[in-house]
Chains A and B, each alone.
Chain A
Amino acid sequence: MTECIIEAKSVHKRFGKHKVLTGVDLCVPRGAVVGLLGTNGSGKSTLIKCLLGLLKPDAGDILTLGEDPWDFTAVAKERLGYGPQEAKLYPWMKSGQIVDYTAAFYPKWDGAWATELMDRWDVETDKRAGTLSVGQLQKLSLVLALGHRPELLVLDEPVASLDPKARREFLRSLVEITDDEQHTVLFSTHITSDLERIATHVAFLRDGVISFFGGLDELKEQVKRLRITAEIDLPATFNVPGAMRIEVNGRTALVAIPQVSDPLVESLRHDWQANVTVEDLNLEEIFLEFHDA
């Protein structure tokens, strides 16, 4: 039995007539680093806010850290870290003061760790938040989310406004936090290369539901693109069972399939007297194949 640190069942959320979530099911296992991927406007932030009790779902059940997030106790909040997409911090406070102020809310705040992060990420402590750049503000907000070494860390587009160097530093710190396999991370992003480096699992949010959830390694091992070159022109009706997408062009066809198997490749070779090569796909390509389908 996998222990779900976050468990969502049939979660629905609409804004007026606009249905954003239409039955989200999700289990984030303990120790996982889950990347939540979705196109712009797919509802990633809405889902994250529901999971954290910042929005109330219209229907469905959520258990985050074993509690209903809408009625989180102080105990659950202590175990949780959240980095919102847009950090809204007191503009008149200096960043060091904001850290101290936030620390006061957390009995288990790790001051040395927070100081180290500020230093590592080049966040100036004596600058007022109102004068910080977007990137600096985002880094400060991440320090606030990480400072108490939360058991569950939920980050909404944490690297969106960071430069490549800061992104690398941030990922490094994230890897350090999760190295005991007890800390769980859920983060949304549209930068797949960052996700590929550190994620153990990926979740695709599409049309209001989780269209895929699984291990990143397994996903890369299973989803493949077949390049089929036959002796003769392939018919327009050319089909491969289970294919997500088929592109026929004369004698060649490109076929994206969710689960490659040797018998399938063999039968294609045999049936069409074709040369079949199996191509690996990276996460971005897989994501696109899923979404073009």
Chain B
Amino acid sequence: MTSSPLNFEIQPSSGMPIYRQLMEQVRALVASGRLEPGDYLPSVRQMAGELDINMMTVSKAYARLEAEGVVERERGLGMRVTNNVPQESAADRKAELREHVEVMVTRAKQLGLTDDQIQAVVKSVLKEWPS
């Protein structure tokens, strides 16, 4: 796992293409307000360098985010978060998280873990993050 100041991280060996992982994380950062309208994303070169991935992959993620209207290209300055993306409410963000948790819980049950064991794993992961 690789992190950058905005805590971007990618898992190359995930089934989700890397550009999609990046798109999800930018959307989540915007939704949570950690990236505000007017903020710039790291440059393509910087992002690729920090995560050790192909620049084309970063460009692809940025171009799609631009097409979605999440960011806009500012000549010579980079990708800026637009102000037409409303910050999602905590309820919306929780709903989004729920989708991921459902997948995780399904897998956890398949692995035969108890509720307590699942919660213990989640807690230990949470501990690794600065609060």
Contacts and interface: CB of A to CB of B under 8 A. Distances in A.
B60 A217 contact: yes
A221 B45 CA distance: 25
B48 A197 contact: no
Interface string A123-136: 00000000000000
Contacts of B14: 280, 282
Contact of A175 (B12, B19, B48, B106): B48
Interface in A82-126: none
A70 to B, nearest CB: 32
Interface in B10-69: 12-20, 45, 48-49, 52-57, 60
B16 A192 contact: no
A188 interface: no
A280 B106 contact: no
Given A179-B45, A277-B106, A197 B52 contact: yes
Interface in A141-200: 168, 171-172, 175, 178-179, 181, 192-193, 196-200
A268 interface: no
Given A175-B48, A179-B48, A198 B54 contact: yes
Nearest to B10: A197
Contacts of B45: 179
A178 B55 CA distance: 8
A200 B54 contact: yes
A67 interface: no
Quick one: which of B54, B60, B106 has the most chain A CB within 10 A? B54
A218 to B, nearest CB: 8
Contacts of B53: 175, 197-198
Interface residues of A, number: 28
A175 to B, nearest CB: 6
A199 B55 CA distance: 11
A182 to B, nearest CB: 12
Contact of B16 (A168, A193, A198, A220): A220
B62 to A, nearest CB: 14
A51 interface: no
Contact of B52 (A175, A199, A279, A282): A175
B17 A216 contact: yes
A228 interface: no
A281 interface: yes
A220 B57 CA distance: 14
A247 interface: no
A13 B100 CA distance: 49
A277 B17 CA distance: 19
A8 B1 CA distance: 37
B13 A193 contact: yes
Contacts of A181: 56
Going nearest first, the 3 A-B pairs with the smallest beta carbon separation are A280-B15, A217-B17, A196-B12
15 contacts: A171-B52, A175-B52, A192-B13, A193-B12, A196-B12, A197-B52, A197-B53, A198-B54, A200-B56, A217-B19, A220-B15, A279-B15, A283-B13, A284-B13, A285-B15
Given A277-B106, A282-B13, 17 more contacts: A168-B52, A175-B54, A192-B13, A196-B18, A197-B53, A198-B54, A200-B54, A217-B57, A220-B15, A220-B16, A220-B17, A221-B17, A280-B14, A280-B15, A280-B16, A281-B15, A282-B14
